[in-house]
């Protein structure tokens, strides 16, 4: 394994209904992305080895390492130390954007990137290894997609827009051992979480029904009563054009219609 | 008591005597059944008499016509976003501050040069926390995106309105602002590639504690969801706060100055290069991510026509629960509280009356176009462009216009 690997940070997830420990959805998507890239993959879990981690082996992960971090201890330094200790310098570290259990602040990938001194690309939907780095497709709100490029040595986080997670195969999941390693932590990295004064089960919060009275609506509201269908359609197209939502062909046509009407 | 002291004081005994004399000769009152013995005399209302006395009608001030608050909504002229409000001489009063006790820094996403409802919630949170500690609000946002003074922003640091991915530049400005103004709090929206990314980068670089996914906050505390959404934690409000959508409700605030601030920052080169946006078709997009949704309710009967309209507009198809229950569209197309919460820029709906659960689904939508036959439907009140007509012929005309467009 002399080629530079991809490291995937793995955590334990919980089943939403039963609470049973299982693979985390976003981490599984990150692992699927890594396994599909064609490069060698090492999965790392900062914590005690748990049987649910075998789900990741069942997805086709050959090498899974757990680091000895006490509960409530500092995972970031251990992870950074492990990543730096891999003989072939890893090209990419993938992580889920947020954990499913525990404090779930989403800070660990950022602190690991800071400790390693590398940039971070959030919300990656797909990747493609290139000569000197990676081409990422980043998922934007409202279905947008953006193309990014980063040189070797980058951390990327994956959210639910990532590839669908591979199935877990029971045989490979049960076979093999999970490698344990303990990293001598040279320094502790604070997780930057504020002190919690109390915690209780989540309450359902009422959702807003519409824009509140104080929300400024830029633009006027219009009401058309019983227009002809053609007038109604023209109004709709004019509105969509002003919001720049029409597909380009139709937008030009709509502008032509407006000039003639 | 503001009684007119000059008015003669009524003598209750004389009045009673008068009444008794009148009751001897009964006069039937209009509209009331009169009995043989006594006709009920309407008692004089002492307060009415007093008011009439103290305000002589001939010299009364002209009645100020009562302003109908709803009338303004329909007739308010469109004001282009970003124009500065008129100066204090003719416009609303502007509250100016020079050296407040504390500063709150707020960084809305302002994607595509406009504030989303999430951004407005974050601005409202910053203003509300600043009000509690007599502070001011500094916003780092594109200048043309909104009229920031109306949102209670005291200082505005202009940001480039481009939609590119340039976090190093933003972080350089934010660290410079943090050093110069030492804000008590920095508020950002919890969005994956926008405020959530900048906020976490800033926390890691500055070594400051950060509260993420905050759903409620006050001046001193924040409540955040963790543990996969199963647990809520209350914690002291830290320096950097990432707010989930709807964490704060925008309220009417005093208009503020939004004075332009310049800050010099020397950004390091971006290590992740932005290669540009990729063009995408809305038809294959999942509903939760869609940018433009065309939705059908029970008022739609011509289904092939509706699907053709959605296809021609390259929009994502949505529908109401009733339509899913009737089997016209699969359940993954349902928009609403128990279906999918959607966040498109524009929502075009045909034949939807607007049940509360459905309106919750589109609560964050910016623009709504509604075509419905019922003038009093809730969706008509929610819509920015409301058309009272039958959906079928409108869809047919829309298809005609869209097909004849490329010429």
Query: What is the ipTM, given to two decimal places?
Result: 0.89
Distance of alpha carbon B288 from alpha carbon B339, whole angstroms:
10
Output the CA torsion A30→A32→A36→A37 (10° steps).
10
Of the candidates A47, B349, B126, B395, the one whose C-alpha atom is nearest the C-alpha of residue B403 is: B395
Q: Touching check for B354 and chain A: CB below 8 Å?
A: no
Residue showing tokens 């006050």:
B218
- pLDDT for the residue numbered A137: 96
CA of A97 vs chain B CAs: smallest distance (Å): 8
Alpha-carbon A137 to chain mean position: 12
Distance, CA of B227 to CA of A199 (rounded, Å): 11
The verdict on a CB contact (< 8 Å) between A208 and B402 is: no
Query: Counting Cβ atoms within 10 Å, is residue B218 exposed (0-12), middle (13-18) or buried (19+)?
Result: middle
State the nearest Cα–Cα gap between A250 and chain B, in angstroms. 6
The residues of chain B scoring below 70 in pLDDT are: 1-6, 24-40, 55-91, 405-407
Q: What is the pLDDT of residues B297-354, one digit of tens each?
A: 999 999 999 999 999 998 999 999 999 999 999 999 999 999 999 989 899 999 999 9
C-beta contacts of B261-268 below 8 A and 24+ residues apart: B261/B138, B261/B155, B261/B156, B261/B157, B262/B157, B263/B157, B263/B173, B263/B176, B263/B177, B263/B180, B264/B176, B265/B169, B265/B172, B265/B173, B265/B175, B265/B176, B266/B172, B267/B168, B267/B169, B267/B171, B267/B172, B267/B173, B268/B168, B268/B172
**CB spacing of B272 vs A148 below 8 angstroms:** yes
Q: How far is CA A186 from CA A67, A74, A78, A111, A164, in A?
A: 15, 11, 9, 15, 38
The DSSP secondary-structure symbol of B277 reads: E
Q: In what order do the strands lie in the sheet with A124-129?
A: A124-129, A133-139, A145-151, B272-278
Q: What is the 3-state secondary structure (H, E, C) of A67-132?
A: ECCCCCCCHHHHHHHHHHHCCCCCCEEEEECCCCCCCCCCCHHHHHHHHHCCCEECCEEEEEECCC
pLDDT at B243: 97
A56 vs chain B: nearest CA distance in angstroms? 19
The pTM (predicted TM-score) of the whole model is: 0.78
pLDDT for B284: 79
Report mean pLDDT in 10-residue bins for chain A, 261 residues. Answer: 85 91 96 95 93 94 91 87 92 96 93 96 96 94 92 96 94 87 78 89 83 60 92 92 75 62 54
| β-pair partners for A96 | A158
Q: Are B114 and B145 in contact (CB under 8 A)?
A: yes
Which of A27, A220, A224 to probe by mutation at the B interface, max B CB count within 10 Å? A220
Name the token pair of A180.
């344990």
Q: What is the C-alpha separation between B325 and B327, in angstroms, rounded?
A: 5
Question: What percentage of chain B has pLDDT greater than the value 70?
Answer: 85
A198 CB near a chain B CB, below 8 Å?
Answer: yes
């Amino acid at each position: 394994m002399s080629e530079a690997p991809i490291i995937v940070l793995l955590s334990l997830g919980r089943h939403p209904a039963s609470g049973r420990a299982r693979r985390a959805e976003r981490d599984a998507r990150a692992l699927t992305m890594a396994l599909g890239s064609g490069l060698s993959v090492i999965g790392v879990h900062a914590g005690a080895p748990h049987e649910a981690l075998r789900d990741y082996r069942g997805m086709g992960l050959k090498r899974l390492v757990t680091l000895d971090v006490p509960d409530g201890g500092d995972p970031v330094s251990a992870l950074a130390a492990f990543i730096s200790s891999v003989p072939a310098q890893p090209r990419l570290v993938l992580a889920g954007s947020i954990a499913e259990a525990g404090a779930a602040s989403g800070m660990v990938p950022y602190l690991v990137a800071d400790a390693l001194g590398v940039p971070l690309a959030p919300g990656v939907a797909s990747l493609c290894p290139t000569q000197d780095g990676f081409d990422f497709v980043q998922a934007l709100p409202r279905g947008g997609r953006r193309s990014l490029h980063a040189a070797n040595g980058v951390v990327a986080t994956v959210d639910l827009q990532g590839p669908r997670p591979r199935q877990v195969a029971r045989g490979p999941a049960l076979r093999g051992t999970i490698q344990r390693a303990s990293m001598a932590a040279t320094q502790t990295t604070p997780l930057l979480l504020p002190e919690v004064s109390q915690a209780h089960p989540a309450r359902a919060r009422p959702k807003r029904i519409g824009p509140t009275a104080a929300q400024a609506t830029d633009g006027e509201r219009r009401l058309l009563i019983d227009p002809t269908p053609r007038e109604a359609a023209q109004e709709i197209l004019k509105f969509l054009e002003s919001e720049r939502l029409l597909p380009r062909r139709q937008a030009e046509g709509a502008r032509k219609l407006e000039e003639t009407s | 008591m503001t009684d007119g002291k000059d008015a003669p004081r009524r003598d209750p005994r004389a009045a009673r005597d008068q009444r008794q004399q009148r009751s001897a000769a009964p006069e039937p009152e209009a509209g009331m059944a009169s009995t043989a013995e006594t006709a009920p005399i309407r008692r004089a209302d002492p307060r009415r008499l007093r008011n009439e006395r103290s305000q002589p009608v001939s010299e009364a001030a002209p009645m100020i016509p009562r302003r109908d608050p709803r009338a303004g909504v329909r007739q308010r002229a469109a004001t282009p976003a970003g124009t500065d409000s008129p100066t204090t001489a003719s416009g609303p009063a502007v509250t100016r501050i020079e050296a407040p006790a504390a500063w709150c820094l707020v960084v809305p996403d302002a994607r595509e040069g406009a504030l989303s409802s999430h951004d407005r919630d974050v601005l409202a949170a910053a203003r509300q926390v600043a009000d509690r500690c007599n502070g001011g609000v500094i916003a780092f946002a594109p200048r043309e995106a909104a009229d920031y003074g109306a949102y209670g922003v005291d200082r505005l640091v202009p940001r480039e309105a481009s939609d590119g991915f340039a976090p190093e530049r933003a972080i350089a400005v934010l660290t410079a602002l943090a050093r110069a103004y030492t804000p008590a709090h920095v508020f950002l929206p919890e969005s994956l590639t926008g405020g959530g990314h900048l906020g976490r980068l800033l926390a890691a670089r500055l070594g400051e504690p950060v509260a993420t996914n905050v759903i409620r906050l006050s001046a001193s505390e924040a409540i955040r969801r963790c543990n996969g959404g199963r647990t809520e934690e209350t914690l002291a409000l830290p320096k950097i706060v990432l707010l989930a959508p709807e964490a704060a409700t925008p309220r009417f605030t005093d208009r503020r100055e939004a004075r332009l601030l310049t800050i010099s920052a020397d950004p390091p080169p971006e290590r992740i290069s932005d290669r540009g946006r990729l063009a995408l078709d809305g038809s294959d997009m999942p509903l939760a991510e869609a940018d433009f949704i065309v939705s059908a309710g029970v008022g739609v009967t011509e289904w092939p026509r509706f699907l053709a309209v959605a296809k021609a507009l390259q929009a994502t198809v949505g529908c109401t629960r009733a339509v899913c229950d009737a089997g016209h569209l699969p359940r993954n197309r349902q928009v609403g509280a128990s279906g999918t919460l959607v966040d498109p820029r524009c929502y075009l709906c045909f034949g939807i009356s607007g049940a509360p659960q459905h309106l919750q689904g589109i609560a964050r939508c910016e623009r709504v176009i509604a075509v419905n036959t019922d003038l009093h439907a809730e969706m008509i009140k929610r819509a920015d462009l409301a058309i009272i007509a039958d959906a079928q012929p409108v869809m047919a005309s829309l298809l005609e216009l869209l097909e004849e467009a490329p010429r």
